[in-house]
Amino acid sequence: MNITKESIDALNAVVKVEISAADYQDKVDKILKDYRQKANIPGFRKGQVPMGLVKKQYGKSIMIDEVNKLLQESLNNFLVEEKLDILGNPLPKMQDDFNWDAEDYAFEFELGLAPDFDVDLSGKNKITQYNIVADEELLNKEVENLQKRFGKLVTKEVVEEGVNIAGSFANEEKGIDKKSTISLEDIKGKVNQKKFIGKKVGDVVALESKGLFDDDHKLMGALGLGHDEVHGLEIPLTFTIEEINVTELAEVNQELFDKIFGPDVVKSVEELKEKIKEDAEKQFQQQADQQLLNAVTEYLVENTKFDLPAEFLKKWLAVAGEKPMSAEQAAEEFDKSEKGLRYQLIEGKVIKDNNLQIDFKELQDFTKGFVKAQMAQYGQLNPEEKDLEDIVQRVLSNQDEAKRLQEQLMGQKLLTFYKENITFKVKEVNYENFVKEVYK
């Protein structure tokens, strides 16, 4: 057997695999002998079937199967031994004059090669790293939310500002009959709100779906409809009032502090706000880190230039899936996936060049931390080590779950690496301005 590689250019190559009868015949003969021993053919005793008959009946299919096995094994070994970094999978070149009746065969495969490039991490102050702070306005709002959460519901006779209203939305034509609880503050516009003011339990309010709430998601929840059904919906509605109440805010005092944090953990409004600030900024940090990782990804994709074997990849995409694609569909799919492929290559380069690979012990420790955090949410603060290890083993035995955790861990390692090696433009903002700037 002989395997050779011909470079077409820096990104494309052809591998030729030549297989002769000497490479596969012994294996074929061994299988045929085994078939002869087991063959059950009318007119012959078991094990006494003439070899010529066995060869005639099974010889060609066995030979083709063994040649294909040998071809796949030798090609894979060659790619590993030559350390060829390929994209997609080798594509067999069609041969119009190929003949399985010959004894010697030659197969050719097209390869798409990964590009050689460098990743420049010196983009000083070109990427913004947000430091999100909990400002006084947010802290005051969170204190009020806690007052509502630990407050008590007080029934009201009539609808007035600040109340919650329970009732049923209805539209006979659309088959809508949905119990919902709404806040008067969620109703959009003074005109709609005035329709509720002064109403009592049992009253029916006539409304229009269009412009009833400030976004479609609230309308979806109120009417129990899907996104597509709600989009552009313009129908009359009735709302039958069944209950009116308002939340009487809890007093900000030691009793409230103890209910939230336990006895004497917090003893003043200032300490309460400090706790809220600490918890909020931990959550903000997670969002800021994810945004930073996204921003670095975008920057590296935009600023790391290299070519791809585009034509090869389009041909490969056309045949790689469960259903073949046309050339036009494959080109469209390549355009959609090119950015993701570029970042995979960049990420792989960063990981390899900086030894950021994950070993199994790291993944186990990360999973253990994840499991402990999950258990803590349900009050299991000190699980037995053996129980913890058993759960970790079960989690990692699930391939999908193991892959998800591995991706999370790699994201953390990359983020730490980027923070240590890229100089960012640091910007301090409150949460509202962070959302405006990042998700505008």
Report mean pLDDT in 10-residue bins for the chain, 440 residues. 94 96 92 81 73 83 93 95 94 88 92 95 89 96 94 93 93 92 91 94 95 87 88 92 94 94 93 95 95 95 95 94 92 95 96 95 94 85 87 94 95 96 95 90
| Alpha-helix runs per DSSP H in 244-326 | 254-261, 269-303, 310-320
Measured between alpha carbons, how far is residue 1 from residues 98, 113, 252 in Å? 18, 24, 84
Paired with 243 in beta bridges are 166
pLDDT given for residue 392 in this prediction = 93
Q: For position 103, what pLDDT does the model report?
A: 87
C-alpha closest to that of 235 among 219, 248, 250: 219
pLDDT of amino acid 241: 96
pLDDT at res. 226: 87
| 211 and 195 Cβ atoms separated by less than 8 Å | no
Spatial neighbors of 342 by CB under 8 A, at least 6 apart, are: 301, 304, 306, 308
Q: Is the pTM of this model over 0.85?
A: no
**Structure confidence at residue 91 (pLDDT):** 95
Structure-block tokens of residue 390: 């058993």
Would you state the pLDDT for residue 33? 87
- Given this structure, which CATH class describes domain 2-113? alpha beta
pLDDT at 330: 95
How many angstroms separate the Cα of 281 from the Cα of each of 129, 292, 295, 408?
15, 16, 20, 21
CA–CA distance, 419 with 97 (Å, rounded to integer): 58
Alpha-carbon distance of 273 to 264, in angstroms, equals 15
The domain ranges of the chain are 2-113, 152-248, 265-306+354-438
Please give the CATH architecture assigned to the domain spanning 152-248.
Roll (3.10)
Q: According to the model, what pLDDT value does residue 73 have?
A: 94
DSSP letter string over 45-71? -TT-S-HHHHIIIIIHHHHHHHHHHHH
Residue 29 CA: distances (Å) to CA of 32, 34, 36, 45, 67? 5, 9, 10, 21, 13
Residue 114: per-residue pLDDT: 96
Pairing state between β 164-171 and 176-183: antiparallel
Q: In whole angstroms, what is the distance from residue 194 CA to residue 1 CA?
A: 88
